[in-house]
Amino acid sequence: PKNQSGCLNLINFICQSLTFFQVVQLQGATSTCLEELDHFKVGNETKNFEAREAIRFLDKLSGDFGLNNWIPLGTKKGKLKIVMSNLVNGMDAEEIYGKGKNDHKIINAALTLSHSEKSAKVVLVTKDINLRLKAKAIGLPSEDYETGKVKNVKNISTSFPVIEGVPPNTINELFRKGSIQEIELLGNHKIANGYYIFKNGSDSVLARYNEALDTIERVEKTYVYNVKPRNAEQAFAVNALLNDNIKLVALQGVAGTGKTLLALASALEQKNKYNQIILARPIIPLSNREIGFLPGSAEDKISPYMQPLWDNLKFIKSQFRATEKKSKVLDEMEESGKLSITALAFIRGRSLSNVMFIIDEAQNLTPHEVKTIITRAGEGTKVVFTGDIHQIDTPYMDEQSNGLTYLIDRLKGHPLFAHIRLEKGERSALANLANELL
């Protein structure tokens, strides 16, 4: 019962993460885990779907074998069994930490396995940090589940390059013609839909690399539905949002940098291109309690979580008098459903064609959820993810494992994708103070 590394891994399926059911190279699970999966299988949330998938996957793996003995998973893929016993000789997690808690039963199951498989190293694999700490405290090796994690988040957090010493005549030519062929200016920063600032002293110009034409194009500060980009990074964001050839955009940045506002304003600017504009966000209560505990109808329950999106719409409306045509158009779009603000859970299962789909707070999505959303995009649809990878509200994800980080890491440099990091806060001096010093 060994894999290539001679390591037996015990799976803790209670990680509530995207791929906790992908066990092709993992060897042991506990009967307690099966009970936990059974508990989570009912419902319409992602964790319920994943629990059902995990159960089906285990059933498929077992085939005609009994899971109380080691069963092969395939060539060089190790073996699998369900550890039924959590009776241990020596160290007992339930005696140390308390009886009746599933986490402690899982630790004991791992200890049981380590006693029965003395020739192999047993490792507890879990997304639960506290469970890892408890295991390590009694000498049981424990690791995070790292599938889908991005190792180097620093590469994602870097802003656009500022290229100094660009010849003045090159800057003037880019202003005059709108595009140039001197790709060598980009050096090792060349990337599809990469954004840059070319500088020479006090002279500067904003630019984007167009991989399809192999040219450098000038980026202008374009008004979108009466909202003007206030800095270079916002101008880059608007450029990507308005570009028909870029079908997928990720706007990353701290609160107050204008991510959601620019996405919504750009969508409204292109309202005639799309059949519908949808703004959605995952419902993640700060206490992580189910919204079912809240009073009222489903709409009443989700309304507080949608308020930030409505606030952005109100700001755009405030740019116009109530009698102005653009203000009336917004009201008509809301009434007709052409502009929809909703919870992301309500989008599940839909096929979205010719839609501008904006997903706010995308850092609270798993990689699997991000993939599912993108695969719903039909012909003519543009998908925009906004979020801050350093502000995670779900307990089993971090800046390395959330869906927004995963998306940026996997798709950066693809001609259909653009990633813009927004750093400069434009909400207020007070908001900037909080972001910088608190």
Q: Tell me the pLDDT tens digit for each residue of 134-174.
A: 999 999 999 988 877 888 887 776 678 999 999 999 999 99
pLDDT per position as a tens digit, 362-412: 999 989 889 989 998 999 999 999 999 999 888 778 899 899 999 999 999
Determine how β-strand 248-253 pairs with β-strand 162-163: unpaired
Cα distance between residue 282 and residue 17, in whole Å: 15
The number of beta carbons lying within 10 Å of the beta carbon of residue 58 is 20
Which residues, other chains included, contact 436 with Cβ-Cβ below 8 Å and sequence gap of 6+?
none
Burial 24-41 (b: 16+ CB within 10 A, else e): ebbbbbbbbbbebbeebb
Domain boundaries, the chain: 7-143, 226-437
Task: Decide: residue 238, CB within 10 A, 0-12 exposed, 13-18 middle, 19+ buried.
Answer: buried
Residue 66: phi and psi, rounded to 5, are: -90, 140
Can you give the pLDDT at residue 320? 80
Which residues, other chains included, contact 297 with Cβ-Cβ below 8 Å and sequence gap of 6+?
none
Cα distance between residue 407 and residue 18, in whole Å: 13
At position 101, the amino acid (one-letter code) is: K
Q: Which of 15-24, 231-240, 323-332, 410-419 has the lowest mean pLDDT?
A: 15-24
Residue 2 structure tokens? 């060994």
286 pLDDT above the threshold of 50: no
CATH number belonging to the domain at 226-437, selected among 3.40.50.300, 3.40.190.10, 2.40.480.10, 3.40.50.720: 3.40.50.300
16 close to 127: Cβ distance less than 8 angstroms:
yes
At position 246, the amino acid (one-letter code) is: I
263 pLDDT above the threshold of 70: yes
Cα distance between residue 259 and residue 238, in whole Å: 10
Q: What is the mean pLDDT of residues 418-427?
A: 86
Cα distance between residue 205 and residue 2, in whole Å: 59
Considering the entire predicted model, what is its pTM?
0.78
**Three-point CA angle 27, 61, 110, nearest 5°:** 25
Query: Sign of the C-alpha dihedral, residues 89, 94, 99, 101?
Result: negative
Q: What is the mean pLDDT of residues 184-205?
A: 93
221 pLDDT above the threshold of 80: yes
Share of the chain above pLDDT 70, in %: 86
CATH 3.40.50.1010 assigned to domain 7-143? The reply is yes
pLDDT per position as a tens digit, 39-57: 888 887 777 888 898 889 8
Comparing 7-143 with 226-437, is the CATH topology the same?
Answer: yes
Q: How confident is the model at residue 2 (pLDDT cuts 50, 70, 90)?
A: very low
